[in-house]
Structure 1
Amino acid sequence: MKYFLLALCLWLPRAVGAFAPLEPLQIAEQFVAPTGWPDMKDYLCCEAAGQAKRETLGQQIPGRLRRTCQLLEQGPSTAVVAVELRDPAERRDFYLHFAKEGETWKLRAIRNLAMTHLGPPMVDLLAAMPRAEIAQYDLKHPEASHAFTLGNLKLWTSSDADIAAHFRKNRADFRKVLRLVQAGQYFAADSAGEQAANADPAVHALLRKLYLGRVRRRETGCASCLEFVIGGKVTSTVGFLYQPEATQLPAMTPDHLIVLKPLGEGWYLYKTT
């Protein structure tokens, strides 16, 4: 009998673990794996359940892509996992949003930055311009030169890893433009400050140097944050958010702020949809 009890005690933890509900990161890793997942439907809800009826995301994307999952946030009822798909030629980023139903986490929505497919053809067109055409372009577009537009488009369509690398490489200039905006107190009173901030010659010059479209507020739903926008189409935008107080950060949602990735010193990479 004692040997039976000992075996039972050794088996129970493994048996309980086998039936324990999966955490968001575990669900994400199963969902983007190249192999199938028989239990997929038990962990999907809402629009995700309608999008992945027969195959996981991992089965729908090319098998050559390397998949990396990163838990960005997990609270009592919601969670967000970032997924990077990579091969030697490209990187792509998706964001999986989860909700908790009872004791079970379920994937509710899959998001990425929309309309980035419009960028590469424009980049190719600008990059192929001969010098004479570039000179004409700069004359016609004094507020957004050829060099700035090309750099801005490349940054807009870059992977999260490359955008983060751009921030690290230019951290000193990001600090400088932040100090200028804060010193000018452009956003202390009303919305008119946005126009004044972007018209400031020193601020404008640094924004152009960093390939940033403009500085603004409230795009992410955060009245106390500063948003240094790279660009985007309609309401699907990407940029850098500054908010040194973590308690004042806006919440990530599949309906608007789809991702918020920390870059250090109160800076974040953000995307909206």
Structure 2
Amino acid sequence: MRKLTILLALIPLFCLFCFSCHTNTPNRHPTSPLDVAKLIFGPDSVPDMYRYMTGEYDGTPNGQDLKHAHLRFRVLDQQDSMALINMTVIDSAGRGEDWYLQMLKDTTWKLQTVSSLAMTGMMQVQLEELEQMPQGYLDTLITAAQQDREGNALKMLTSMDDYHFLIGNLRLVLALDDTIVQHFKDNKAAFDTLKNEALKEVTAMGTHSLESPVKLMKQQANAGKALLIENIYAGEWGDPQCITFVIGGMMDNMVGYLYVPDKSHLPDLYDSSLIMLRDLGDGWYMYKTT
């Protein structure tokens, strides 16, 4: 009888212990790709991390590497078995970077790859060199480019307008995605005007001329530069309906906007050089490649 009394007295304590463990333990059975991303990059260690790993992802980086960072998540795309999540990482000094988490679902959602724009360090060095360039040296470069007849000078720097474009362009390439999106929203009317002119040019050429990428608006380059756009192409993704507005980048690591009026003509997010694609509405998208 005494044993039974002790057992009955312990039952409430056992229930309280179980409830406490349940409420203080992070969700170990995430049901969505966003849940998995937040679990892996959350503040708590994940002993069963292997359950949520596949492909190239080997468990690092994870939340233990980002303890002092502020994270923001955005689902860019989610299909039955594939998903892409943008994770913005802001460090303790306020510097930010956008990462792209490609997720795959088999028995559960798993993290397959972690990508970001490459070669940003070299672009940051270029930007700092331009920003710190003495006016006298800058004037010398501009004069040399204006007087050059043999193609030896820096042709992209023939005026102060070119100088300001280069700085603005590099800053935008290196900016957080939200800043790049805001640049588009702030100038949407001008982008639509540029897009309409590009579409007229595509129509005049005919689709048979777009078997390979074609540079557009060659005679109106300043219109693109006013929006910090370096180049405009049609047919770059093997589809004449896809107009590419390149902000810039280095080698294959590019940032820009796409105009694709029919979603069925979008490049394959999971089987192309794209590492992200963000819907801006009205057929417009922001993209990055690497």
Q: TM-score range by the shorter chain?
A: 0.7 to 0.9
CA displacement, residues 218-241 of structure 1 (integer Å, 9 cap, x when unaligned): 545654211101112221211101
Cα deviation, residue 244, structure 1: 2.1
User: Aligned equivalents of 1:124 and 1:177: distance in 2?
Assistant: 30
User: Aligned equivalents of 2:193 and 2:163: distance in 1?
Assistant: 24
Cα deviation, residue 217, structure 1: 3.5
User: Aligned equivalents of 2:176 and 2:206: distance in 1?
Assistant: 33
Cα deviation, residue 243, structure 1: 1.0
Cα deviation, residue 109, structure 1: 0.8
User: Aligned equivalents of 2:282 and 2:45: distance in 1?
Assistant: 41
> Residues 126-205 of structure 1 correspond to what in structure 2 (within 5 A)?
126-139=130-143, 140=145, 141=154, 143=156, 145-185=162-202, 188-189=206-207, 190-191=209-210, 194-195=214-215, 197-200=216-219, 202=220, 204-205=221-222
Q: TM-score, normalised to structure 2's length?
A: 0.77
Question: Does the CA-based 8 Å contact 1:65-1:85 persist in structure 2?
Answer: yes
The alignment status of 1:93 with 2:112, answered yes or no, reads no
Cα deviation, residue 160, structure 1: 0.4
Q: Tell me the secondary structure at the aligned position of residue 121 of structure 1.
A: helix
The alignment status of 1:83 with 2:102, answered yes or no, reads no
Structure 1 unmatched ranges of 5 or more: 1-13
Cα deviation, residue 19, structure 1: 7.6
User: Aligned equivalents of 2:232 and 2:51: distance in 1?
Assistant: 43
2:121 corresponds in structure 1 to 117
User: Aligned equivalents of 1:175 and 1:255: distance in 2?
Assistant: 26
Question: Does the CA-based 8 Å contact 1:220-1:256 persist in structure 2?
Answer: no
Q: Residue type of the partner of 1:121?
A: V
Q: Identify which of 270, 274, 277 aligns with 1:253.
A: 270
1:239 corresponds in structure 2 to 256
Q: Identify which of 11, 16, 23 aligns with 2:32.
A: 23
CA displacement, residues 55-106 of structure 1 (integer Å, 9 cap, x when unaligned): 5522123x221111111111112111110112462221011111121x3221
The alignment status of 1:70 with 2:102, answered yes or no, reads no
Question: Does the CA-based 8 Å contact 1:257-1:270 persist in structure 2?
Answer: yes
Q: Residue type of the partner of 2:276?
A: V
Q: Tell me the secondary structure at the aligned position of residue 56 of structure 2.
A: helix
Q: Identify which of 206, 211, 226 aligns with 1:209.
A: 226
Q: Please identify the structure whose Cα radius of gyration is greater.
A: 2
1:271 corresponds in structure 2 to 288
Q: Point out which structure has higher relative CO (alpha carbons under 8 A, 6+ apart).
A: 1
Pairwise CA RMSD: 2.5
Q: TM-score, normalised to structure 1's length?
A: 0.82
User: Aligned equivalents of 1:188 and 1:135: distance in 2?
Assistant: 44
Distance 1:162 1:132, change over 3 A: same
Q: Tell me the secondary structure at the aligned position of residue 47 of structure 1.
A: coil
Question: Does the CA-based 8 Å contact 1:111-1:254 persist in structure 2?
Answer: no
Q: Residue type of the partner of 2:105?
A: K
1:4 corresponds in structure 2 to none
CA displacement, residues 99-124 of structure 1 (integer Å, 9 cap, x when unaligned): 121x3221111111111111221111
Equivalences, count: 249
